[in-house]
Structure 1
Amino acid sequence: MDRQRNTQLEAAMAEYGFTHQGLADEINRITGRIFGEAHPRKCTDRHVRRWVSGEVRWPWTRYLHALEQLFDRPAQALGFLPRGRNSANLPAPPRSPAPTKEAPVRRRRFITATAATTVALALNIDETPVNGRLSMSDVERARGRIDRLDAHFSAIGGEPLLTVATAYLGRLTTAADRCTYGPRVEQALHTAIASLCSSAGWAADDAGDLDAAHQWRTTALQRAILGANHRAQARAWSDLAIHACRGGHHREALRISQTALTSREARQDPRYAALLQSRLAISHAHVGDRPAAARALLAAQAAHDRIDPAEPAPRWLNFLTAAEISGLTAITHQAMGHLADAETATTQALTLLEPGLRRSHAYYSVQLAELQLAQGNTTDARTTAAAIDTTHVGSRAITGRLATVHHTLTAA
């Protein structure tokens, strides 16, 4: 049989930011928990290379168990081909010892640290020069790393990425201070730093540090202005609007969204218009202007319908799918007190979400449980909350809301 490269495993590794060695290390951690640390067979980067190349099409059972747990999908969905009918049915792994009371906390901290280390290694942030002459190629490579960082946010949440983002910000800022470059490179570098500051703002948001989130978002706007990049400015204004809304400053959020909607990007790019109109709808709902909120929702939907799927979106805007529009619609209905409509829109968002967007799945699942609880439907809320798995989602904001739901259900 001809060797065929395992592109499905390769894509999963890229989605989660794993290098060959990083994946091998994570597999050893999982197999150690399942089969015992003393097992003599250890996974190495050579094993992973053979899986990716197609040289090995059905790995050892212990590795398959680890891969299925890690990527949350069956082995065949990762591109592996069973040797025969019987081999496709993996034997059940040994029962893991019962966790202690503190095990979930230790596990979350370990996962967070592992994810951050793996992403940092995958991005190779140390390769960005911090002295000498900086070229457009250097800035383009930096942009590519920032795009990949944004992709990880949707998969694993922002909390484990905060240290990576801030470390890379330090390196890019050092490059801006020490390197020499021309005016074109200078503007591109400011724009790249603005984008990274926006990513750091969302990571800080997930970590529950709203002060740091505001600082990074303000810096993002400043850098976007220095870079004379209107798209980066529109992104920064959008982030500042949602930050003001979360802080209870709804009229400030309203003014920010209205100002951002006057930009050329909002007039010409339907993606920006859809996002900003959704933000505007939420703000209108919070200040009690229901007709204006409804008009903004219609405008957001109309803008989203105008998006040309063949036109590539900026990586950070990849989350703005029909599912996200439904989710933002639900938030607007919730702010207006239309809880049943909010529940319907949240359910639709969860139905439309792609499987790889685990952070969004967790976010809207918690939102659904909250809405069911607010309507007195404790049975459905309990079922929804019990099905939410935040093990691999690094967001203190989401896990904190889920803990509140569980506490309320326990007291009910």
Structure 2
Amino acid sequence: MSTSRNKVLEAWMQEHGYSSNSLAEAVNSAVADLTGRAGGLDGSSVRDWKAGRVRWPKSASRVALEKVTGLPATALGFVPRGRTPVSALAPPSDDAVERRRFIAAGTALAAAAGTPMFASNHRVGTSDVERLQRRFSEIVVSDHRHGGRLDIEQKAASFADEALALQNSGSASQRVRSYVYGCAAAFQSSAMWAAIDGRRYKGAIGHMREAQALAELAADPAIKFRIWSHAGTLYRHLGRPAEAIAANDVARSLSITRRDPMFACLGHARQAATYGLVGDTTAVRRTLGRAQEAFERADPSCPRPAWMTAVGDGAELESLALAAHLGLGEFERAEARAHQSLALLRPRMQRDRALNTARLALAQLGQGDLEPAITTAMSIPADVFLRHPRIARLIRDFDSKLHTAAPSSPSAREWDEYAHGSWKGST
């Protein structure tokens, strides 16, 4: 991809007497002021900015640069990521009303990137934070319905950029600034989760690093927990269980797990899913037991972030226990957990319902119950799993295991007729 030099940044540096090395030092110092830890830029990092090889610096560096210069990054010639026309991102099969509303929000953000949203004397206040939080709730709802779509990832990242732009739009109390950084971190964590869910792991790692830096600026233990917990899931999907266990341990060690047992429940349950991946039956039993104990201690009326809804319902605990037992090959236990999770999931959580239905089919197949397994798998609409990489992978795993277990059976022939008619012929 061709790059163009950032002549705006070069002109600002020349006007203010900065070399690449001296600007890197100033930004590193500003990062230290913000986070308590010096930044890691050097002269080559700034030269990459000037050459246009880096069009949008990472969050902590970008915020520090804005502090040094007194200007928003867009006024220094930087271009936010993901400015693809929204119409090219929206898949044709979504609900039309929701799509129009969500696209309108994304279009407004794209316009805001080039034009200041507020006058320079704007006072950033709680109403701005509340507006960002409403946007975050919309992202969470869309994720529950559709899962890891690229447009959800890009919109979440755009909202994070919008939150950071708000920091430069006017004055604010330290408390409000922390809230805004927390919103930016939450958006990046949603972008990270959408990328994980869509199996776009390289992008997920980038969002994770941005989210971690922003969470440090916010000093918000709830969002730190979410980011580290998602990191554990990311490493689990990457087949790196040691790092998954370490990331989950960081999440479980945060103070919020001691203040609210519901967070401890989620931390233990996600760790159990990782132990299932490595076949550690004893550890699965232990962590699921701790998760259940924490769930029973938690106050269900305690206010929590929107993304904790399924944890409070108990659906997330059952879903993760299902994944853990399936990983161990404990198919009868997995089937029981699958039925419990499906009973608890709220209607809007369509992605999780399809995932757990696919896992139920695998659990039934693992017990040799071919007809119920096929009926279960066929109950997932083909257009649902074809749009979602994780569900598609489970269905293909089911297809492979069915043909290994009973390649010439009437059940396998029935499945083949369905598969060729509904999805094999289109992939």
Task: Identify the TM-score tier after normalising by the shorter chain.
Answer: 0.5 to 0.7
Residue pair 2:310, 2:345 contacting (<8 A) in 1 also: no
Residue pair 1:194, 1:221 contacting (<8 A) in 2 also: yes
Q: What does 1:178-193 correspond to in 2, within 5 Å?
A: 179-193=170-184
Aligned equivalents of 2:382 and 2:318: distance in 1? 22
Structure 1 match to 2:77:
none
1:119 aligns with 2:109: no
Structure 1 match to 2:138:
148
Q: What does 1:52-201 correspond to in 2, within 5 Å?
A: 109-112=91-94, 114=96, 115-121=98-104, 126=109, 130-131=117-118, 132=120, 133=122, 134-159=124-149, 160-177=151-168, 179-201=170-192
1:245 CA displacement? 1.0
Select between 225-234 and 381-390 the one with higher mean Cα deviation: 381-390
Aligned equivalents of 1:211 and 1:331: distance in 2? 23
Pairing partner for 2:255 from 244, 254, 264: 264
| CA offsets 1:150-197 (integer angstroms, 9 cap, x no match) | 122112323152232233233333333555434223211110011111
Q: Flag the 1:399–1:336 CA change in 2: closer, same or farther, 3 A.
A: closer
Pairing partner for 1:310 from 295, 298, 301: 301
Pairing partner for 2:335 from 330, 343, 358: 343
Q: Secondary structure at the match of 2:310?
A: coil
Structure 2 match to 1:402:
395
Q: Secondary structure at the match of 2:253?
A: coil
**Which amino acid in 1 is paired with 2:394?**
R
Aligned equivalents of 2:248 and 2:125: distance in 1? 35
**Which amino acid in 2 is paired with 1:330?**
L
Q: Flag the 1:148–1:113 CA change in 2: closer, same or farther, 3 A.
A: closer
TM-score (norm. length: structure 1): 0.67
Q: Flag the 1:285–1:398 CA change in 2: closer, same or farther, 3 A.
A: closer
Pairing partner for 2:316 from 304, 319, 324: 324
1:298 CA displacement? 0.7
Structure 1 match to 2:419:
none
Q: Secondary structure at the match of 1:226?
A: helix
1:224 CA displacement? 0.8
Aligned equivalents of 2:175 and 2:237: distance in 1? 36
1:291 aligns with 2:274: no
Residue pair 2:140, 2:190 contacting (<8 A) in 1 also: yes
1:358 aligns with 2:350: yes
Q: Secondary structure at the match of 2:318?
A: helix
Aligned equivalents of 2:334 and 2:401: distance in 1? 20
Aligned equivalents of 2:162 and 2:401: distance in 1? 44
Residue pair 1:198, 1:236 contacting (<8 A) in 2 also: yes
Aligned equivalents of 1:186 and 1:121: distance in 2? 27
TM-score (norm. length: structure 2): 0.65
| CA offsets 1:111-134 (integer angstroms, 9 cap, x no match) | 249554432436895497644333
Q: Secondary structure at the match of 2:381?
A: coil
**Which amino acid in 2 is paired with 1:237?**
W
1:323 CA displacement? 2.3
Select between 348-357 and 296-305 the one with higher mean Cα deviation: 348-357
1:250 CA displacement? 0.8
Aligned equivalents of 1:234 and 1:352: distance in 2? 24
How many residue pairs match? The answer is: 306
Pairing partner for 1:382 from 374, 380, 384: 374
**Which amino acid in 1 is paired with 2:395?**
L
Q: Secondary structure at the match of 2:91?
A: helix
Structure 1 match to 2:16:
none
Q: Secondary structure at the match of 2:190?
A: helix
Structure 1: state its 5+ residue gaps. Answer: 1-107
C-alpha RMSD of matched pairs (Å): 2.8
Aligned equivalents of 1:289 and 1:404: distance in 2? 22
1:217 aligns with 2:208: yes
**Which amino acid in 1 is paired with 2:273?**
I
1:202 aligns with 2:183: no
1:365 CA displacement? 0.5
1:340 CA displacement? 1.8
Q: Flag the 1:200–1:177 CA change in 2: closer, same or farther, 3 A.
A: same
Aligned equivalents of 2:368 and 2:154: distance in 1? 40
Q: Flag the 1:179–1:113 CA change in 2: closer, same or farther, 3 A.
A: farther
Aligned equivalents of 1:390 and 1:177: distance in 2? 46
Aligned equivalents of 2:102 and 2:334: distance in 1? 35
| CA offsets 1:210-268 (integer angstroms, 9 cap, x no match) | 11122212221221111111111111111101111111111111122222222110111
Residue pair 2:147, 2:198 contacting (<8 A) in 1 also: no
Aligned equivalents of 1:408 and 1:291: distance in 2? 26
| CA offsets 1:324-346 (integer angstroms, 9 cap, x no match) | 21111111112222122112211
Aligned equivalents of 1:333 and 1:404: distance in 2? 16
Q: Flag the 1:262–1:310 CA change in 2: closer, same or farther, 3 A.
A: same
Select between 186-195 and 316-325 the one with higher mean Cα deviation: 316-325
Structure 2: state its 5+ residue gaps. Answer: 1-89, 413-427
**Which amino acid in 1 is paired with 2:360?**
L
More relative contact order, 1 or 2 (CA 8 Å, 6+ apart): 1
Aligned equivalents of 2:92 and 2:279: distance in 1? 44
1:146 CA displacement? 0.5
Residue pair 1:197, 1:219 contacting (<8 A) in 2 also: yes
Aligned equivalents of 1:191 and 1:137: distance in 2? 15
Q: Flag the 1:399–1:179 CA change in 2: closer, same or farther, 3 A.
A: farther
Q: Flag the 1:368–1:168 CA change in 2: closer, same or farther, 3 A.
A: same
| CA offsets 1:80-138 (integer angstroms, 9 cap, x no match) | xxxxxxxxxxxxxxxxxxxxxxxxxxxx9302495544324368954976443332321
